[in-house]
Amino acid sequence: MQFATAHEPKPKLYQNEGGPALSVQNLKVSYGNFTAVKDVSFSVYGGEIFGLLGPNGAGKTSTLSAIEGLLKPAAGSILIAGYDTGEKPLYAKANIGVQLQATSFQPELTVDEILQLYAGLYGVSLSKEDRANLLSGIKLENAASKRFGQLSGGQQQRVSLTIATMHEPQLVLLDEPTTGLDPQSRRQLWQRIEAMRSESHAILLTTHSMEEAEAVCDRIAIIDHGHIIAIDAPQAIIEKHRNDPEVIRASRKGKITLEDVFIGLTGTDIRS
């Protein structure tokens, strides 16, 4: 598998070997007079799964949208693979792979047709053997001729994740990728995400599942009201806050969990 050019494979675009795949510094995102993200900073490195957690309306989606280039920040900087998204947006975007919660692939196309379509859009040369190997790697070797709409939700997510990473991006954004999946499909997707980490991808994951964050994330950041209120390894955050009165009050099982800490830090009110 290689990038298709007229003469030779396209060189890797990133310019920061050894540095963070994603660096967010003092990010501010506003909608008119309302500021959704306030002075947010964090970095994600290759070989790391980084979870961004927060209640509805906390600023997760606005942060992701700014990283993807869908929103222009009011202040701050975002570097992807060493490229400033404001100064060199095309280079930055070329180093991102995105998997959304809901796929939007054409349901009438076959899986093989979708692989060929997106390989062409990414400028990646995929032979029939390459495509077969990709499907074999996600245990869908017999699905090449199936229409995408005929696949189960878990199968669709596996195909979506494969397409998001077929151009070997430094940074992969996963927006609640396991929502609606059964336990078997969720575990399979976790395994694929962990395999991506072993391939040195940097992974930024948003999820409402505290179990998922604790199971797969190397570090997490909890965002609320536009601010990062905690950032560390899941177990380290639990240990730091296990004796907080609000966390103890939130505990329902005696053993303090990440969900207890999350509720203790962000409150019990339901967000719209």
Read off the pTM: 0.88
Do both 218 and 243 map to the same domain?
no
Q: Crossing angle for the helix pair 128-137 and 153-165, nearest 10 degrees?
A: 130
pLDDT of residue 266: 95
Q: Read off the pLDDT of residues 103-141 as tens digits, 9 standing for 90 and up.
A: 678 899 999 999 999 999 888 999 999 999 999 988 899
pLDDT of residue 268: 87
Question: In the structure, what pLDDT confidence band is assigned to residue 15 with cuts at 50, 70 and 90?
Answer: low
Do both 203 and 242 map to the same domain?
no
pLDDT of residue 214: 93
Do both 268 and 194 map to the same domain?
no
- Interatomic CA distance for residues 28 and 73, integer angstroms: 6
Counting residues of the chain whose pLDDT is more than 90, the rounded percentage is 69
Tokens at residue 148, please? Answer: 């995408």
Residues paired with residue 52 on neighbouring β-strands, in sequence order? 206, 221
Q: Read off the pLDDT of residues 39-73 as tens digits, 9 standing for 90 and up.
A: 999 999 999 999 999 999 999 999 999 999 999 99
Do both 127 and 223 map to the same domain?
yes
State the greatest distance between any 2 C-alpha atoms of the chain, in Å, as a whole number: 64
Do both 52 and 122 map to the same domain?
yes
Q: How many domains does the chain have?
A: 2
Q: Read off the pLDDT of residues 213-256 as tens digits, 9 standing for 90 and up.
A: 999 999 999 999 999 999 999 999 999 999 999 998 888 777 89
Q: Read off the pLDDT of residues 171-191 as tens digits, 9 standing for 90 and up.
A: 999 998 888 888 888 898 889
Cβ–Cβ < 8 Å for 166, 96: no
Task: Give the domain range for residue 117.
Answer: 2-12+47-61+93-231
Cβ–Cβ < 8 Å for 202, 45: yes
